[in-house]
Amino acid sequence: MVLGTSSHVGKSLLTAALCRIFAQEGYRVAPFKSQNMSLNSAVTPEGLEIGRAQALQAEAAGVSPSVHMNPILLKPCGDMTSQVVVRGKIWGKLTAADYHLRRVDELWPIIRESYETLASQNDIIILEGAGSPAEINLKQHDIVNMRMAELADAACLLVGDIDRGGVFASLLGTVELLDPHEQDRIRGFLINKFRGDIQLLAPGVRMIEHRLGKPCLGVVPHLHNLTLDEEDSLGLPAPDVRDDSQWTPINDLSRPLRIAVIALPSFSNFTDFDALRAEPSVSLHLCRTPESLANADIIIIPGSKQTANDLIWMRSVGLDIAVVHHAAQGLVIGICGGMQILGQDIVDPSGVEHTDAIAGLCLLSIHTTMQPQKITRLTSGRLLAPSLFRQPMTSSRVSGYEIHVGETRYVDGAQPFAELRTDTSQQSLLDGCVASNGQVFGSYLHGLFDDDGFRHAFLIAARAFYKLAPTSQCNNWKQDREDNLNRLSDAVRSSIDMPQLFSWIGLIYQHNANQEGCRS
């Protein structure tokens, strides 16, 4: 089990790395996180919702994602409430107090059953904790850290993030706040995200080993430009902070395409834009003010967990006016909740997210009605028009996954964006909408830009719309992900004491010399 001294110490990616390493060594391995809190989610082949981190870990292990890998998913609806997703389906909407004090124990048998299902099918389970196991105010009802470790009889590795500072204090404090039998379960610790001269770190490592009476399994370096899914918004760059050249008006036709993604307060599935961000011909930034949209070529309104509330927020800061003004001469895209915002109105008769009807930005000819039931499915299909932004498309294939509670109907004469089919049915579905001027479109498809063919064609069309020079280089996102997973696992493998790690679970480390064959 991978435990952390806090959130965002790297537990998710280290779990992914270990999944890949054990898979490379020939073992059947699966990830498991009993309870995950994240607005970043994925859909399994069966159409069930799980945390996106567990989907990435399954990918690293070379297996299909399963709802048993993350039986409980909490999706925050604000500071005090969360939507509770149990085995991929909505279970309820609860306050933090109601969930932790009264409802958690109802879910424990479900967690146990999911874990036992995975354990019966695999040689090794890599469990991931959440936050810190030493949250003493929540520990009595904890179902994701030490209680889970005891159920699985797991050897625990404690991870500290040195990049944030205070790593030795956080390691020591975490262990000392645990009960003696829980301290015994932690076999050793690991320092993550290190950069600098490791010789300067060595005295501190020796001292903390002595204080804890536990070995340091290794020091993993900070890996730059590792474009793998972040579990939560702590991994996102700060909105409105541009880390490259400013978006100043210039006549250079080879300049990057400028994409502004509005960082909504309930921004969900922000990994939708990782593939675009990685393109060398794109400059993508998160924006929260009208001023930061200046000189953008494309504005994207992303998915939202609280669509109506995020639309109200946009109006409160003037972003609604900025988007409508931009749509008159530029390009605007809405993904999932962002598409709903671009429509005529959002009606919520069941009070799923908001009690009142609210007018949209009226850039797309659609009406949305919120429903208690969530739609979750993998889909693929084709664009219904041969062009986008009034430019020819070199690829018409689209694919992705849907996670939404709204049902959208078209105004007479509206033009759908795509025709889709699910992975489990050949029934044809219409998705999205395109504005009559061809400059605005929306889609329910998360992961739309992950498909290399569509993304490349999209960038060609967008650059042609602005009369920019065609890009000379496009990324292969699927191969990039595979390369980065191997880069991550190679760094972890070379940085930590693998024989000792293997010994914790009763195995002998026999490094597979034919790793390339394993990876293929």
E-state strands within 418-466: 418-422, 429-431, 433-434, 440-443
| CA–CA separation, 157 and 397 (whole Å) | 43
Q: Which token pair is 218?
A: 């290794």
CB 309 within 8 A of CB 417: no
CB 65 within 8 A of CB 51: no
Query: How remote is the C-alpha of 146 from its chain's centroid?
Result: 25
Give me the residue label for tokens 């020591």. Answer: 172
**Strand 186-194 relative to strand 216-221, pairing:** parallel
E-state strands within 151-194: 156-161, 186-194
- Backbone phi and psi for residue 181, each to the nearest 5 degrees, phi listed first: -70, -25
Low-confidence ranges of the chain (pLDDT < 50): 243-245, 513-520
Give the pLDDT confidence of 147-175 residue by residue, as tens digits.
999 999 999 999 999 998 999 999 999 99
> Who's near 518: CB < 8 A, 6+ residues apart?
23, 24, 25, 26, 512
Structural Rg of the chain based on CA atoms: 24
E-state strands within 177-222: 186-194, 216-221
Helix (H, G, I), strand (E, B) or coil at 485: helix
Q: Which token pair is 383?
A: 């664009």
| CA–CA separation, 184 and 205 (whole Å) | 19
* Element of type H or E holding 388: strand 387-388
E-state strands within 119-185: 124-127, 156-161
* Element of type H or E holding 335: strand 331-335
For the annotated catalytic residues, the residue numbers are 336, 446
Tell me what pLDDT residue 519 has. Answer: 32
Q: How many angstroms separate the Cα of 389 from the Cα of each of 112, 317, 440, 449, 515?
A: 51, 28, 8, 16, 45
* Element of type H or E holding 286: strand 282-287
- Backbone phi and psi for residue 407, each to the nearest 5 degrees, phi listed first: -110, 130
Identity (one letter) of the amino acid at 331?
L
Closest CA to 458 of 392, 381, 373: 392
Closest CA to 163 of 107, 123, 132, 201: 201
Closest CA to 402 of 39, 36, 42: 42
Residue 375, strand partner residues: 404
| CA–CA separation, 82 and 66 (whole Å) | 22
Q: Which token pair is 382?
A: 């084709």
Give me the residue label for tokens 């001294």. Answer: 5
Q: Which token pair is 323?
A: 């988007």
Give the domains, in start order, of the chain with CATH numbers.
Answer: 2-228 (3.40.50.300), 241-477 (3.40.50.880)
**Strand 345-347 relative to strand 358-359, pairing:** antiparallel
- Backbone phi and psi for residue 60, each to the nearest 5 degrees, phi listed first: -65, -35
Q: Which token pair is 467?
A: 């009369």
Alpha-carbon dihedral of residues 217, 218, 223, 229, nearest 10 degrees?
0
Q: How many CB atoms lie within 10 A of CB 243?
A: 8
Long-range contact pairs involving 489-495 (C-beta distance under 8 Å, separation at least 24) = 489/16, 489/17, 489/20, 489/21, 489/24, 489/60, 491/17, 491/220, 491/221, 491/223, 492/14, 492/17, 492/18, 492/21, 492/220, 493/17, 493/21, 495/218, 495/219, 495/220, 495/221
CB 284 within 8 A of CB 240: no
- Backbone phi and psi for residue 97, each to the nearest 5 degrees, phi listed first: -65, -45
> Who's near 184: CB < 8 A, 6+ residues apart?
none
How many DSSP H helices and E strands does the chain contain? 16, 28
Q: Which token pair is 19?
A: 């999944």
3-state SS, one letter per residue, for 231-278: CCHHHCCCCCCCCCCCCCCCCCCCCCEEEEEECCCCEECHHHHHHHHC
Q: Give the total residue count for the chain.
A: 520
CB 282 within 8 A of CB 459: yes
Query: How remote is the C-alpha of 476 from its chain's centroid?
Result: 19
CB 257 within 8 A of CB 468: yes
